[in-house]
Structure formats: C-alpha cells, structure tokens
Amino acid sequence: MKTSELSAIEFSARFGKDKIIPGPFSYFLCDNGLGLIKDNIKKSIEVLAAAEISHVELTLEDELALLSLVCGEFSEEIIIPKHDTLMDYEAREKSTSRNQNTIWGLFFTFIVICLVICVYIFR
C-alpha cells in the first residue's frame, strides 16, 4: 500500500471539510482509497474511507505500512554484534564486575564510617 501526502485542501475535497482538523496534522491518501489523518504530536492516526468505498479490508502488510507511517522506520535500539567471541564476553563481564565491586566497596565504606561516627557520638 503506497501513501502520498496531501494538503488540507486536497484532503477536504476528497473526504469532506468536516474531516479537516486545525493543528499539527498531516493528511495522506492511500492507493486503496483510504485517507489517513496523522497527529504529529501524539503520533497517532485516524483511518478514513471515502463515501464511495463501502468496505476496505486491511491486510497485515497494510497495517504494518500504517504503523511505519506513524512510528517511522523500524530500527533496533540494541545493537547486537554479528560476531561475538569469548574474549569479548569476558571483557564485558570484567568491566561490569569492576563497576559493581566499586559500588559495593563504597557502600560498605559509607556504612563503616557511619558506625564509627555513631560509636564516637554515643560513647
């Protein structure tokens, strides 16, 4: 399903003036006759069918195309390396354990300092 962006005037000529909403909206026309109103702030869409179309079934591909229109192209947030060796894994493990040991060491040092202060005050 291909979509093309329309101006508000072109969209109102095809779907009616009552469908035009003031604000930050984009209007699209699909090749199967559906109209889309995209809210650019909320990242949501409203699907409209023209009066001459009685019923339009959306296929899974059509739904994915509409979803990518709203959300943008899919991209992975986590980059997984294509080749991961044992040495890479060990380096990551060593780095994280070093950070964790530092945090625990600082925590216990703080507890010991608090205990020493309490003993000094209440002696």
DSSP string, 19-73: G--SSSEEEEEETTSEEEEEETTTTEEEEEE-TT----PPPHHHHHHHHHHHH-S
Alpha-carbon separation of residue 18 from 14, 33, 42, 51, 111 (angstroms): 11, 18, 21, 13, 67
> What is the pLDDT, as a whole number, of residue 69?
67
Confidence band, pLDDT 50/70/90 cuts, at residue 121? very high
Amino acid at 109: T
Confidence band, pLDDT 50/70/90 cuts, at residue 28? confident
Q: How far is CA 104 from the centre of its chain?
A: 34
